[in-house]
Structure 1
Amino acid sequence: MQRAERLIRLTQLMMERPLHAISLASLAEQWGVAKSSLSEDVATIRQTIADAERGTVETLVGVQGGVRLRSGVPTDERVTFLNNLARTLSEPGRVLPGDFVYMSDVLGDPYVLDTVGRLVAMQFADKAVNVVVTVETKGITLATATARHLNVPIAIVRRDQRVTEGAAISTHYVSGSTRRIQTMSLGKRAMPSEACALIVDDFMRAGATARAVVDLLKEFSAEVVGTAVFMATSQPTTKMVNDYFTLLRVHEVSEHGANVQPALT
């Protein structure tokens, strides 16, 4: 196998599965090439990806040896991406009853989802996350994209307990938007032992849902390392979760539209 082909294939392997450990010893045997040659290839790829701000190639120590890619987004691309999203979501006609902003079309775009997943993963890559937790239904695609770039599974909190989830733990909470008592449940098998969880959702107003998920995860003795949302309101300024990360913030909502601005610079 020629070096140019190795460089392309090795880069593709890392890009397809971020934070997944790739054994250089196994690749050397599979491709019929010296491990030292692969190490030289990795050095080239590492420098190229770093120069392009596309992430960081990490070397794993051990008998087998290996590498993995930590996803990244170039600064200028991140700024343009968030500005474009804010402009789109501020368009007239997106305000729904209850002062919600229509986002379903935006969150149905695979490029948007993948980029959001990378941005959130960058923020929490050092937090030892081993599961991403979300609430059905709109948060599922965002959680999946984030989990892909963190190389961890997702656990979905359901509004109604389902037989297919097996034994589950449920809790009641008061919705921040409707002020109604609602129920959520999470299957016991969905959570890893000694869970270190990242909560991901699409929208936050007062943070009642996120707070309820935090309380629910306490029943699993899980550590919650953070909460990430696609968009949050500027009011109320004090949320029901102590700390959260958001990409966009909506400041004003009227019949003429919403004032959405990037929260991450």
Structure 2
Amino acid sequence: MKKYKRNQRVGALMKIFTERPNHVFSYNYFSELFNAAKSTISEDIVIVRELVSDLGFGRIETIAGAAGGVIYIPSLSEQDTAGLLSELCLAFSNPNRIIPGGYIYMTDIFNSPYYSSNIAKIIASKYSSKEIDYVVTVETKGIPVALMTARELDVPLAVIRRNSKVTEGSTLSINYVSGSTRKIESMTLSRRAVKEGSKVLVVDDFMKGGGTAKGMIDLMAEFNAEVVGVSVVISTAEHKDKLVKDYNTLLVLEGVDEIEKAIKIRPYDQENTDI
């Protein structure tokens, strides 16, 4: 079997870790893959750990025990995070995005692999220690961000639908009150999508009144699942009347002026992002 030089192994380790973050790899896996002794692999891991730390890419941890191994936990540096949020604010505040009715066109940003993957890194870094089993979202523009977040956390994504589909099998549905329109709406999820007793992270693209997020929390209660966090990309500045009080947001929309063609949006700049 072919032997690999250290620089080759280190390069391959970086690729493997970044392609599957938050996954525990055993030393046996790397030893067999590279045809190298575990002591050699340990030395390689030290090099990669220092490199990841120095570059601000996150951290690599060693887990002891029979089921242990090595795990890469990605994150963005404070500088990169601030830069990304500023970039997002600039993109979202383009007056050409204003749609009649005071809405903002956002689909292209959420469908961008660059933006959705980096937003996911920020969200996932807040919950990497929560032992999350599923990321849950509703079928909206936020699906790409939720999927990328699930990838970062190495867990499945469960997408709640507005209407049941025959291909979903047996489903569980609830009615909820829209936080903005106060209308009664429904959402449904396959009974096979989330296992009972799981820990879930709710991810959504936008929060105004909080009705959709509250509906997802209530639906998870029907699965006897624990919601360990609610994270949204953008929330409106008015939050005193929101149906969900405990959530994380990256950006705050202060207002849309159709007459002046102005969108006021800023990063949520407090140290504790729990609102």
TM (norm. structure 2) is 0.93
Unaligned runs of 5+ residues in structure 2 are 271-275
1:9 is aligned to 2:16: no
Cα pair 1:89 1:260 within 8 Å, conserved:
yes
Q: Aligned to 2:262, which of 250, 257, 263?
A: 257
The residue that corresponds to 2:74 in the other structure is 71
SS of the aligned residue for 1:69 comes to strand
SS of the aligned residue for 1:93 comes to helix
Cα pair 1:24 1:64 within 8 Å, conserved:
no
Q: Aligned to 1:138, which of 137, 141, 154?
A: 141
Deviations, residues 35-63 of structure 1 (Å, cap 9, x unaligned)? 10110110111111111111110112123
Equivalent AA in structure 2 for residue 164 of structure 1 = T
Q: Which runs of 4+ in 1 moved over 4 A?
A: none
SS of the aligned residue for 1:189 comes to coil
The residue that corresponds to 1:93 in the other structure is 96
Deviations, residues 2-21 of structure 1 (Å, cap 9, x unaligned)? 00000000111001100111
Offset of residue 224 of structure 1: 0.4
Q: Aligned to 1:237, which of 237, 240, 262?
A: 240
Distance, in Å, in 2 between the alignment partners of 1:62 and 1:171 is 43
Deviations, residues 64-108 of structure 1 (Å, cap 9, x unaligned)? 642110011122111111101101111112222342221111112
Offset of residue 173 of structure 1: 1.4
Distance, in Å, in 1 between the alignment partners of 2:172 and 2:76 is 37
- The number of residues matched between the two structures is 265
Equivalent AA in structure 1 for residue 153 of structure 2 = L
Q: Aligned to 1:59, which of 50, 58, 62?
A: 62
Distance, in Å, in 2 between the alignment partners of 1:73 and 1:85 is 15
The percentage of aligned residue pairs carrying the same residue is 39
- Give matches, 1:67-216, under 5 Å: 67-216=70-219
TM (norm. structure 1) is 0.96
Distance, in Å, in 2 between the alignment partners of 1:249 and 1:30 is 46
Cα pair 1:49 1:55 within 8 Å, conserved:
yes
Offset of residue 264 of structure 1: 4.8
Which deviates further from its counterpart, 143-152 or 237-246?
237-246
The residue that corresponds to 1:36 in the other structure is 39
Instruction: State the superposition RMSD in angstroms.
Output: 1.4
Unaligned runs of 5+ residues in structure 1 are none
Change (3 A) 1:45 1:103: same
Cα pair 1:131 1:192 within 8 Å, conserved:
no
Distance, in Å, in 2 between the alignment partners of 1:160 and 1:100 is 24
Equivalent AA in structure 2 for residue 136 of structure 1 = E
Cα pair 2:138 2:161 within 8 Å, conserved:
yes
Cα pair 1:86 1:262 within 8 Å, conserved:
yes
Distance, in Å, in 2 between the alignment partners of 1:98 and 1:205 is 15
SS of the aligned residue for 2:135 comes to strand
Cα pair 1:58 1:68 within 8 Å, conserved:
yes
Cα pair 2:179 2:243 within 8 Å, conserved:
no
Distance, in Å, in 2 between the alignment partners of 1:229 and 1:81 is 16
Cα pair 1:139 1:202 within 8 Å, conserved:
yes
SS of the aligned residue for 2:65 comes to coil
Offset of residue 175 of structure 1: 1.6
Cα pair 2:232 2:250 within 8 Å, conserved:
yes
Cα pair 1:25 1:65 within 8 Å, conserved:
no
